[in-house]
Amino acid sequence: MTATLYHLNEDFVPSDVVHWYDKATDGETVVIALPAHPSVRLYRCPNEHVYWSTEGGKGMTVSLEDARQRLAMLTPAL
């Protein structure tokens, strides 16, 4: 399965992770390029959870809301 690539704050904002989750099927992947940070890869899991991993780092399963909050913390100040 291929991954969809987005750029945070260009074509993807933190709240978009909920919209992506609602449209995706289990196992589907999104890669979010972050300014000044490694890209984040999210895998859709059941029960409103995602598997969050970064390039070169270990991953973990987090709630959808936690993923949204984590992305918001990585969003550069406008």
Q: Domain-by-domain residue ranges, the chain? A: 3-59
Predicted pLDDT of residue 31: 92
**pLDDT class for 1, splitting at 50, 70, 90?**
low
Predicted pLDDT of residue 23: 92
Predicted pLDDT of residue 78: 42
pTM confidence score: 0.86
67 CB-near residues (< 8 Å, 6+ apart): 17, 42, 50, 52
- The structure tokens listed for 29 are 């992947």
Task: Convert the pLDDT of each residue in 13-70 to its tens digit.
Answer: 888 999 999 999 999 999 998 878 888 999 999 999 999 999 888 999 999 999 999 9
Q: Contact at 8 Å (CB) between 69 and 40?
A: no
d(CA 25, CA 46): 9
